[in-house]
Structure 1
Amino acid sequence: MTISNPPQDVVDVPLVLLEFLSDGVARITLNRPEKRNAMSRQARKELIEALDRCRGAARVIVLTGAGPAFCAGVDLKEVDAAGPAQNALDGDHPWIAVQETIRRHPAIVIAAVNGFALGGGVTLINSADLALASASAEIGMPEIGFGLYPGLAGPSTQLRLGPKRAAWMVLTGRRISGRTAQEWGLVNLAVDPAELQDEALALAVDIAQHDAVTLTWCKKALWEVPMHITDWTAALEYGENVGTQIRSRTSAVGDGLSAFAQGRRNPGQGAGGGRHG
């Protein structure tokens, strides 16, 4: 993977595109449109490389797909060619590594679901911190049709949705639309297909105004509570500790309080909900 120096340049690699679009915002595009962005070994490798290049260079990353699909999951033809001993459909550990890279990345990751999101594509939505979808996107888990439980998409959806809705997706194999995904809480917002990229980038720019250290620690807290901490008192104590960690690493808190005292607005202060908020 080669990356040109000017931050405005588009970085072209065979299976992943990486762009640094503006101050603190990057976009990663899965680039196998003819395969509905199915994730081969090489595609997974290049996605992790692109995410690594964003460390320290981007506060917010928009993750999307080229062509009519967001991500059709793990490359099934590659899985089939590997044979039963290497069958990855029931728990692809390299795919887990991708999810953990996203989840533990210091930047906020926004999934811009432009089309089909199947199996592992659903896992990507769940691993992202925020998600916007085309209203016409088709989202689902086809694994039941292969005689399998969706090893990563299933549990990640069960952690994100209520039990009956997660069961519907796991047991029926039926796809839901971007609109339904919003109603169910699988994505934050469904928009007209033509507006998706603009909406995702506008959201990214808005979030990127905030202090990088604060964003990273807020992301950590959002994954920790209630994923790991469910006790009320322990959660409040953890929240206080997060504040301490932020204040020890950045001057943003003191700067923000000073600005407020002087009558100057901080990023997001007094802002409305935006076009769709």
Structure 2
Amino acid sequence: MTLASTLPSPLAAAANTLRGAAEHVDDLLATLPRPTRRPPGQRAEAAAAQDDVRRMRERFLAHHVEEVYAQLTGGHSLRIETLVTQAAEVFPGLVPTAAQLADERSRTQADKEGREIDQGIFLRAVLGSPVTGPHLIDAMLRPTARALALLPDFRRTGLLQTEAVRLERRDGVAHLTMCRGDRLNAEDEQQVEDMETAVDLTLLDEDVKVAFVRGGEMTHPRYRGKRVFSAGINLKYLSSGNIPLVGFLLRRELGYINKIVRGLRLDDGDWRPPYAAKPWAAAVDAFAIGGGTQLLLVFDHVLAASDAFLSLPAAKEGIIPGAANLRLTRSLGPRTARQVILGGRRLWASEPDARLLIDEVAEPADLDDAIERALQRLSGEAVLANRRMLNLSDEPPEEFRRYMAEFALQQALRLYGADVIDKVGRFTAQRT
């Protein structure tokens, strides 16, 4: 008989049983050396124990996820980062504690116990429920505390400079310039934090009519003085254990990217739809790799220099490219989407298939003029209402919710796949 089969049905009793089982596994892991130092027998023993308690977590949530969520939130809106913290405190053993996550964060990806998989199990259940899933997604559409604190100053100056993003309002256009010039705008937690703040301020500022995203000039030796859109996920950070499931991979999709699509959720109380939205455009200089290409899929108008390229190498890296699996088929069709995601096909801006993702291609010297014309077109009065209706048709909220529920677990599992750890480790070794 497995531990999962002994789980009682009432919430309190089930939670106590789960807590005891999780403590038993934690005690076992504490007696073992770190994963990379374990002989095969110890690895098998640890994996079997973790599998058993994870089956218990899955069964517990299948019966009680709505009760658990109600107890954690009390009917209020909690962001995903706060939700998992609360879950660890209120239901011990359901998800890793802050101390356990801090210990994991101090290790390389190869030496972690994979505790984020338990977060993935929890969040798949929450997002998978038609009751709790929409509530969590709605909570993630609300403005962050950081953005609300910065809003008065931004309204006054029209300028915000953060580590990863420069935001400037000029003539009704919010210019978001990704400015990690030393790392080709590779993405990490700081980039997600700064992008969400910039997106929130853009959507909250009544003087902004159109939003525009572009990469800034690089200080990186290979592209010094040139603009680059994005090199995608920071693989060095992934290898060293600094790309978290919740704080980066899920916050990115449910936070600023979904805000670009849906708009910012504001307080209820008016008869109008409670979303602050703007039209969004982007321009690609040099390349948009991985997360850069994922981001392009949610803009209303995309321009690119004729010598630029797009790619989604996540499958080669071993991970899932965000919501691109949901969105890319809609644009490219099923065969080409598979070539890009599964086969790593690179699309050059000048080739016909790329024009299904890019609205305008211009010679590098002419790109600035093309951008100005595009932004002028997006400022039309009817653009905002029509983009909302197009987005509802292209990607119904329930379709997005169901995708993100499965993504939460599948991406967690991929983070700890042996192939991912091997590939990012070799990538880092080649560049050190």
Q: Deviation of residue 220 (structure 1)? A: 0.8
Secondary structure of the corresponding residue to residue 198 of structure 1: helix
Counterpart of 2:249? Answer: 92
Counterpart of 1:14? Answer: 163
Are 1:177 and 2:348 counterparts? yes
Give the 3 Å change call, closer, same or farther, for CA 181–139 of structure 1 in structure 2.
farther
Deviates most, 26-35 or 144-153: 144-153
Counterpart of 1:225? Answer: 393
Counterpart of 1:126? Answer: 297
Counterpart of 1:77? Answer: 236
Give the 3 Å change call, closer, same or farther, for CA 184–202 of structure 1 in structure 2.
closer
Are 1:104 and 2:104 counterparts? no
Q: Percent identity?
A: 25
Give the 3 Å change call, closer, same or farther, for CA 181–115 of structure 1 in structure 2.
farther
Deviations 1:147-200 (A, max 9, x none): 344343333212322112111111221321112266541111111112223311
The two structures, once aligned, show a CA RMSD in angstroms of 2.5
Q: Deviation of residue 122 (structure 1)? A: 0.9
Are 1:5 and 2:165 counterparts? no
Are 1:163 and 2:163 counterparts? no
Give the 3 Å change call, closer, same or farther, for CA 149–47 of structure 1 in structure 2.
closer
Q: Is the 8 A contact 2:349 2:355 kept in 1?
A: no
For 1:132 and 1:181, how far apart are their aligned partners in 2? 14
Counterpart of 2:79? Answer: none
Amino acid across the alignment from 1:20: R
Are 1:45 and 2:202 counterparts? no
Q: Is the 8 A contact 2:282 2:303 kept in 1?
A: yes
Counterpart of 1:245? Answer: none
User: May I ask how many residue pairs the two structures share in their alignment?
Assistant: 220
Secondary structure of the corresponding residue to residue 35 of structure 1: coil
**Structure 1 length-normalised TM:** 0.71
Secondary structure of the corresponding residue to residue 187 of structure 1: coil
Deviations 1:102-142 (A, max 9, x none): 11231100011112211111111001121111111121011
Amino acid across the alignment from 1:51: V
Q: Deviation of residue 201 (structure 1)? A: 2.4
Are 1:147 and 2:315 counterparts? no
Q: Is the 8 A contact 2:291 2:322 kept in 1?
A: no
Give the 3 Å change call, closer, same or farther, for CA 13–151 of structure 1 in structure 2.
closer
For 1:14 and 1:226, how far apart are their aligned partners in 2? 34
For 2:185 and 2:352, how far apart are their aligned partners in 1? 20
Deviations 1:187-217 (A, max 9, x none): 1111111222331122112322x23xx4332
Counterpart of 2:213? Answer: 63
Are 1:31 and 2:179 counterparts? yes
Give the 3 Å change call, closer, same or farther, for CA 182–30 of structure 1 in structure 2.
farther
Are 1:54 and 2:202 counterparts? yes
For 2:352 and 2:261, how far apart are their aligned partners in 1? 21
Counterpart of 1:113? Answer: 284
Secondary structure of the corresponding residue to residue 174 of structure 2: strand
Structure 1, unpaired ranges of 5+: 230-277
**Structure 2 length-normalised TM:** 0.47
Give the 3 Å change call, closer, same or farther, for CA 14–183 of structure 1 in structure 2.
closer
For 1:126 and 1:14, how far apart are their aligned partners in 2? 25
Alignment of 1:244-255 (within 5 A): none
Counterpart of 2:374? Answer: 203
Deviations 1:205-261 (A, max 9, x none): 2322x23xx4332111111124339xxxxxxxxxxxxxxxxxxxxxxxxxxxxxxxx
Amino acid across the alignment from 2:308: A
Structure 2, unpaired ranges of 5+: 1-149, 218-226, 264-276, 398-432
For 2:355 and 2:335, how far apart are their aligned partners in 1? 11
For 2:189 and 2:318, how far apart are their aligned partners in 1? 23
For 2:282 and 2:339, how far apart are their aligned partners in 1? 22
Secondary structure of the corresponding residue to residue 72 of structure 1: coil
